[in-house]
A = this chain, B = another copy of it.
């Protein structure tokens, strides 16, 4: 019955399109502007109470990572990328880029056990290592789900998924009550499993209709004929910042990234500001005026209502009408914070909720055996080194800062005093 959500020993990643849309958008720009930069991506387990090796065998992890490395983009997938209309725009990928993509392969990985936790690193050119982020996280999360349900009886499995479906549908019914709300699936990296994510997407599609704007997952967008969603991520500024040789360059990094971005992707939906890489306060304070022309913001750290208010007043100062702007909330959303945030900002600014972990991996209290192993972890995979220099992300939430502590201090001191 429900076992089909998680076949053991089956490949977890079956296509290179099983990743977030924004990775490919960023990849085209990285490939065009920074083809020679080396960037190391590292797995970071923020859930200190859980040691991955307790639940995941090194052997099965290697099998899945190797399996993902065996993948190539198929002709059909390349053709789809080349011809499909994204955000109303066709041919957003150049033929040269698509030709290069045809031979793309995930690079080697370095895996070692380090006090019970896995140290998983990807060394090499940014144009290759960047593509590991999503599949690596999806593999580890699904392996952990599989190990959590491995010992469940057929009946318990059946009940587990029955309750998870009921839980999700209760969320759908609460969201249906919010007029004109927009919800998106951003849950690929933290999903319980690929098939479960697909079920969640089907549920949102059936339940929310036009209020469901699409998925960040390219493969599922292609398979389910939904809009693929996403723009760019912190890694761009994180990496470029390490190349800065002057304070001015460092300060201007986020804006420079956006300028380059707009040369690659015009069209309003691509122009989403990610203000928190080194702190939203400093970003807004030092932002050139043209930034305010962009379509909206993605709020990915800090307290949604605080950050939203900060953004709205900044927009007003810049002479913009917030009601014509958009905020995409994408940080740790659950049904309660979605409702509260929506009610707080409705009619004042357009909103979209990019729902991740709590959408595609919410199995808390669903197992009759009541195991916590089924609960999602806070795992990320971030750039940690760029050409031997340490990379840093601050964000608006101390826990979400990544990088060498000394460097984090240095960045904080710098950006907070600009």
Residues in A lying within 8 Å of B, measured CB to CB? 1-2, 4, 153, 155-156, 158-159, 161-163, 165-166, 169, 202-203, 206-207, 368
The one of B4, B159, B202, B206 in contact with A165, judged by C-beta atoms closer than 8 angstroms, is: B159
A311 and B39 alpha carbons, distance in the complex (Å): 81
A153 and B169 alpha carbons, distance in the complex (Å): 15
A1 contact set on B, CB distance < 8 A: 1-2, 4
Min distance, Cβ A133 to any Cβ of chain B, angstroms: 31
A155 touches B368 (CB 8 A): no
| Given known A-B contacts A155-B202, A202-B155, A207 and B368 have beta carbons under 8 A apart | yes
Min distance, Cβ A314 to any Cβ of chain B, angstroms: 42
* Supplied contacts A1-B2, A156-B206, 10 more A-B pairs, CB within 8 Å: A1-B1, A1-B4, A155-B203, A155-B206, A161-B162, A162-B165, A163-B166, A163-B169, A165-B166, A207-B368
A159 touches B155 (CB 8 A): no
B159 touches A169 (CB 8 A): yes
Q: Kindly name the residue among A1, A4, A159 whose own CB sees the greatest number of chain B CB atoms within 10 A.
A: A159
Counted per complex, copies of this chain come to 2
A161 contact set on B, CB distance < 8 A: 162
B165 touches A158 (CB 8 A): yes
A156 and B166 alpha carbons, distance in the complex (Å): 12
Chain B: CB-nearest residue to A156: B206
A162 contact set on B, CB distance < 8 A: 161-163, 165-166, 169
A166 contact set on B, CB distance < 8 A: 159, 162-163, 165-166
Per CB-CB distance, the 5 closest pairs between chain A and chain B, nearest first, are A162-B165, A166-B166, A162-B162, A163-B166, A162-B166
Min distance, Cβ A97 to any Cβ of chain B, angstroms: 37
The contact sample of 19 A-B pairs, CB cut-off 8 A, is A1-B1, A1-B2, A1-B4, A153-B206, A156-B206, A159-B169, A159-B203, A161-B162, A162-B162, A162-B163, A162-B165, A162-B169, A163-B165, A163-B166, A163-B169, A166-B166, A169-B368, A206-B368, A207-B368
